[in-house]
Chain A
């Protein structure tokens, strides 16, 4: 390969006799070999990268993307589940509150109506007993008044008998008793 093609290439300034360098990039006799090996190595590189390395690399990157997206979705689902649970709790709480209030209200009204009924019954009872007592009193009073009239008649006839020596006629006594404020 290092034939003495020194026609157009300048010789080395010193050391004289060793092979001519020329300008290596422009040495056309090396082109064939370089292109051949470039083709071999680049085709090999392309094949290895596209069949082996890049699928693995993009697989890793894609797997990461999918994993992250999946985790984010999962987190979002969990968050919405938590929110739903929170809402359900709030709902249950407010329901319980309303039920408790209704119960309390019911109990209160029941208690008050019972008391009312009891009070009415008691009042009615008391009223009845009062009127009974009043009736008894009126009866006793009437009886007493009747007795008083008898006593007065007897007393009057006795007084008259003592004063006059003879008992007046009962009709007279009755008449005298009937005279108001005599």
Chain B
């Protein structure tokens, strides 16, 4: 029986250009997103059909999330936030198909995305506000003697953002897929064990089905959480004053 972590293995497809199964699913996610959205909006209907409604709901949902968190100024980051949301969501959901590779179950991928977010915040913050951006670490109305501690705490909290942002997504996807595989493995093991144990095989199967539903929820929810946190961090870049 395969190990529960075998599904996360990176397998080269075209070694010369480092193209692996992970790369394949990244390309696949982009193709699904762009192709799906273009196909859904090809009619440009005034009264949308089903597919176009889904595309519009996704657009409005991300736009609403961004506007709520960062205001109208935040809308300049809309393409970035929409790309992040769609990429993470599609990668998560593609991973739910049996036998498919889950791009976001690798910490380097989620960490890169988190660095992209935090990098955008830092670069935009300094470009837009200059040194005033550092006011992010100096909350107003704090007693002077407390200030050094607060600044250190704020700095640590800021630096831990990319770590928490990436680890949350990575750990959720990883743990969910491992749990699914473990319960699915139980089914096979019990069936193979024979006798009374074979009768018990449906129990982990039910569990696997329930976990599957949960994992679909987690896949969508983690994409949303990633997006919301991105919006909140971007708001810091737009309005660094506390």
- Which residues of A pack against B, CB within 8 Å? 1, 12, 21, 23-27, 30-42, 44-46, 48-50, 52-54, 56-61, 63-64, 67
Q: Considering the chains assembled together, what is the distance between the CA atoms of A27 and B20 in angstroms?
A: 14
Nearest 7 A/B pairs, CB to CB: A33-B18, A50-B79, A37-B23, A41-B26, A24-B8, A30-B10, A31-B108
Q: Which residue of B lies closest to A67 (CB)?
A: B46
B10 touching A63 by the CB < 8 A rule? no
- B26 partner, pick from A31, A38, A57, A58, beta carbons under 8 A: A38
A21 touching B10 by the CB < 8 A rule? no
User: Number of residues in B with C-beta < 8 Å to the partner?
Assistant: 49
**Total A-B pairs, Cβ < 8 A:** 127
Is B15 at the interface (CB under 8 A from chain A)?
Answer: yes
Question: Which residues does chain A contribute within 8 Å of B19, judged by CB atoms?
Answer: 33, 37
Question: Which residues does chain A contribute within 8 Å of B12, judged by CB atoms?
Answer: 1
- Tell me if B's interface is mostly helix, strand, loop or mixed: helix
Interface residues of B in 12-27 (CB under 8 A from A): 12, 15, 18-20, 22-23, 26-27
B9 touching A33 by the CB < 8 A rule? no
Is B170 at the interface (CB under 8 A from chain A)?
Answer: yes
- A21 partner, pick from B9, B86, B112, beta carbons under 8 A: B9
Interface residues of B in 82-97 (CB under 8 A from A): 82-83, 86-87
Q: Considering the chains assembled together, what is the distance between the CA atoms of A67 and B46 in angstroms?
A: 9
Q: Considering the chains assembled together, what is the distance between the CA atoms of A1 and B22 in angstroms?
A: 15
- Which residues of B pack against A, CB within 8 Å? 3, 5-6, 8-10, 12, 15, 18-20, 22-23, 26-27, 29-30, 33-34, 37-38, 41, 44-46, 48, 52, 55-56, 59-60, 78-80, 82-83, 86-87, 103, 105-109, 112-113, 116, 170, 174
Question: Which residues does chain A contribute within 8 Å of B41, judged by CB atoms?
Answer: 53, 56-57, 60
Question: Which residues does chain B contribute within 8 Å of A67, judged by CB atoms?
Answer: 46
Q: Considering the chains assembled together, what is the distance between the CA atoms of A26 and B8 in angstroms?
A: 10
- Tell me if A's interface is mostly helix, strand, loop or mixed: helix
| A32-B44 contact given A23-B5, A60-B56, CB 8 Å threshold | no
A53 touching B38 by the CB < 8 A rule? yes
Question: Which residues does chain B contribute within 8 Å of A38, judged by CB atoms?
Answer: 26, 103, 109, 112-113
Question: Which residues does chain A contribute within 8 Å of B112, judged by CB atoms?
Answer: 34-35, 38-39
Q: Considering the chains assembled together, what is the distance between the CA atoms of A37 and B3 in angstroms?
A: 26
Q: Considering the chains assembled together, what is the distance between the CA atoms of A27 and B109 in angstroms?
A: 13
A45 touching B170 by the CB < 8 A rule? no
Q: Considering the chains assembled together, what is the distance between the CA atoms of A67 and B109 in angstroms?
A: 43
B107 touching A54 by the CB < 8 A rule? no
B44 touching A25 by the CB < 8 A rule? no
Known: A53-B34, A53-B41, A57-B55. 4 other contacts (CB 8 A): A33-B18, A34-B106, A49-B83, A57-B56
Q: Considering the chains assembled together, what is the distance between the CA atoms of A54 and B63 in angstroms?
A: 11
B34 touching A25 by the CB < 8 A rule? no
A44 touching B30 by the CB < 8 A rule? yes
Question: Which residues does chain B contribute within 8 Å of A49, judged by CB atoms?
Answer: 33-34, 37, 79, 82-83, 86
Residue pairs across A and B with Cβ atoms less than 8 A apart, 11 shown, are A23-B8, A24-B9, A25-B107, A37-B26, A38-B113, A41-B23, A41-B26, A41-B29, A42-B113, A49-B34, A57-B41
Instruction: Tell me the smallest distance from the CB of B75 to a CB of chain A, in Å.
Output: 10
Q: Considering the chains assembled together, what is the distance between the CA atoms of A50 and B33 in angstroms?
A: 13
| A25-B80 contact given A57-B37, A63-B46, A64-B46, CB 8 Å threshold | no
